[in-house]
Amino acid sequence: MVRLRTVKRAAGGGAGRHGADVSAGGAAGYGEASVHGAVAPRGGARYEDAFAPEAALTLDGVTRSYRRGGRSVNALDGVSLAVPRGRFLAVMGRSGSGKSTFLQCSAGLDRPTSGTVHIGGTDLAKLSEAGLTRLRRDRIGFIFQALNLVPSLSVAENTALPLLLAGARPDDPSVRERALRVLDSVGLRGRADDAPSELSGGQQQRVAIARALVTNPAVIFGDEPTGALDPATATDVLTLLRDAVDKEGHTVVMVTHDPVAASWTDEAIFIEDGRIVGRLDHPDPDTVARTMARLGER
């Protein structure tokens, strides 16, 4: 059973569905009721339900320290939260606040200095390097701003890459079939045999999403997946991620600086100095922008 130390129930059940906890006026907006490491489940479920082992992602007291100038600096500082399955979560905060560190520790790309991370029921600290590599390959999808598509492989082969790395044979018809199915879901089935260089930036980003979906992962992590896209293409990409959550039940954790991108999610958390300092349910662009501005003033 995963137990979280810093969970607090918002006063008066006030972790409302409309972001009242962070957006409440004045300093009270960052008061005791709003500053917690919990992500409340949707649909009126109780907080406690979110901390069951079947949560897609659970962090408990996660700290990541680096040595800088002879002393230890916490890039992440005691972060606890649980992300239920089927949730689309935005991770926001100023440059250097710890968002990428949060993502890397959550996704098993980096090991926390202390605290635990679970993907589903798996404690990442208990895995060997080889086990961690397998988990990343089989149960996690990544969408980075730098796309990392392999130029010499076709769109379909790039999409199927995680399956091939897991040992599937390239000539196995079910591999191509699966790749075509996810390419269909991102509107690119017709481009399966093209090279990535023949696609626009937004289309390449959609291939990266197809590749992240191809293993049917427990959690999809994105580090600013819409950061380099024009608004229309960003909307396409966000629509795809939203559909992955709503239609396929995927769980998506997305770092973004963009209040409009955050408004596509179910919930935004705000990180400052390695800590979760606020959260918004059903974030709207104005409230997110105001919250970001207030983080800048702190």
**Cβ 51 to ligand ATP, closest distance in Å?**
25
**Cβ 110 to ligand ATP, closest distance in Å?**
9
95 or 152: whose CB is closer to ligand ATP? Answer: 95
Q: 116 is in the binding site of which of ligand ATP, Mg ion, none (Cβ under 5 to 8 A by kind)?
A: none
67 or 247: whose CB is closer to ligand ATP? Answer: 67
CA distances from 216 to 140, 225, 251 (A): 8, 18, 10
Q: Which residue has the closest beta carbon to Mg ion?
A: 100
Q: 217 is in the binding site of which of Mg ion, ligand ATP, none (Cβ under 5 to 8 A by kind)?
A: none
Residues forming contacts to ligand ATP in the complex (CB under 6 A) are 66, 68, 75, 93, 95-101
191 or 294: whose CB is closer to ligand ATP? Answer: 294
**Cβ 99 to Mg ion, closest distance in Å?**
5
- HEC readout, 19-41: CHHHHCCCHHHHCCCCCCCCCCC
**Cβ 103 to ligand ATP, closest distance in Å?**
8
- Sort strands 71-83 and 275-281 into parallel, antiparallel or unpaired: unpaired
**Cβ 279 to ligand ATP, closest distance in Å?**
16
Structure tokens at 191: 């481009």
CB-based contact 58:2 (threshold 8 Å): yes
31 or 96: whose CB is closer to ligand ATP? Answer: 96
88 strand-pairing partners? 252
Q: How far apart are CA 190 and CA 155, in angstroms?
A: 10
**Cβ 97 to ligand ATP, closest distance in Å?**
4
CB-based contact 56:118 (threshold 8 Å): no
74 or 233: whose CB is closer to ligand ATP? Answer: 74
Q: Which of 100, 122, 233, 235 binds Mg ion (CB under 5 A)?
A: 100
**Cβ 251 to Mg ion, closest distance in Å?**
20
At 273, is the secondary structure helix, strand, or coil? coil
Beta-carbon contacts of 258 under 8 Å, excluding residues fewer than 6 positions away, are 226, 227, 234
DSSP letter for each residue of 169-202: -TT-HHHHHHHHHHHHHTT-GGGTTS-GGGS-HH
Q: How far apart are CA 238 and CA 234, in angstroms?
A: 6
Which stretches of 84-192 are assigned E, i.e. beta strand?
88-92, 114-119, 122-123, 140-144
157 or 258: whose CB is closer to ligand ATP? Answer: 258
97 or 203: whose CB is closer to ligand ATP? Answer: 97
Q: Report 242-261 residues binding Mg ion (CB under 5 A).
A: none
Q: 75 is in the binding site of which of ligand ATP, Mg ion, none (Cβ under 5 to 8 A by kind)?
A: ligand ATP
Interface with Mg ion (CB under 5 A)? 100
